[in-house]
Structure 1
Amino acid sequence: MEPPPECPQETPALTEAAAEFLSLIAYVTPQLETLEQEELEQVEVTGVVTLKARPVERRTHMVSHQHGITVTKTLREGEEETQRWSFSYSKAELQGLLPEGASLLLLRVLACQRAVPSGLVFPAIDTEGHLCTSSYCALGIQQQVVGSVEAEVFVIERAVVTGTGISTVWHSSFLRSGVKPRTPFPKQPLDWEEDIQLYSWFLDRKV
């Protein structure tokens, strides 16, 4: 294995994420083996002082080959030069590996069966490219508002634990068909005078 190099760290500053876009494309076999996967995260970061939006793009590409898997990560911030680094894992280290795309498919299969085997754990790769574990357990059937009606959903918990013991937990709800329900978001009144960023744009346009 080639260990993941030190990932470039974003410069800490008085910033906040104003908008975010995520996409995931994965090519997975019926046996849930990942042939190729690409994750893209695009964030508009707005400075608190300058109020200027700065785009940040993070891309992670994973491809399987006869020796194992190679992961390539890229980071681009605004007009700065794109940073890129790659590392690989051997097949021996990847027995049963379940990256993000394959994990989403597994969740849908488990939801259709409405059952999760006890102690279901797979190796995975975290956001920094390190090997970690991903576990699954059923939280049972619950009622959830879908559109204008209340529907029965099956809830599964997924926990990703890194080598340092840090865990991230997600709760995913699925209809009987294995499809994730769309949760309605109530409209909130927009008070542009209380939003410093919108208020600044308003003043700029007036000038």
Structure 2
Amino acid sequence: MAVSIIAAATAAWQTVLVKEQLTAGDRNRSFQELVQQAGSICELFYPNKIKAYSYAAQGDGTSIIATAREDIDPSIFQAELAGRIAAESRRLRLAFTVAAIWSTGDQTTKFSRAESSIMELFQYFSSPDLSVSYYRDFFAMRYVKASHTCTNDRGTGLSQSIAGLVNDEESWWLDVDAKPDQVIVAPRANLERMDRAQIRQLAKQQTELLKEYDSYNQM
């Protein structure tokens, strides 16, 4: 009787160990795929199609990325590229969903915030009417922001930031009070004659217009 109980307990314990090992393997694989997918979507922005950025931190915690239209390679305005970004964006969101299933404790909240922050960079590329200059400017603003994130450090920073969530490293970039970057796309002549106050005003205006455009696309 005692031998049977011991045997049963041993078998049960072995089952628990195997399950934990399988769970750990699935969890690690989902985290790995998320980090790799972040790198994959950033690859779409190489080589960098923007000649120069003007990046300035503001006293209110915002940062403005100013780009002259003349410095943007017109090849970015291709429906094929928009489609590829949209496809990789969907894969990235799926990777976040799977990773979130396996997250525990504080990781759950961090993954949710990371998904919201990062997906904001890459969504809304799916249905731009690039034959209309008005929509091309919105697309360019989206492209500039995502490209700045991906090409400044060849996308390594984005992947490393996500990996830090897995390793419970400091995630200051997910601070709910952090101010998002603002983007300006305008003719070079306009940017050159603007002072700081005018740059800030234009950034505010274009940011609000972009929000309205994004809200319309969500309908």
Q: Which has the higher helix share?
A: 2
User: Shorter-normalised TM-score: what interval?
Assistant: under 0.3
Q: Which one has more relative contact order, counting CA pairs under 8 Å at least 6 apart?
A: 2
Which one has the largest radius of gyration? Answer: 2
Q: Which has the higher strand share?
A: 1
TM-score by length of 1: 0.25
TM-score by length of 2: 0.24
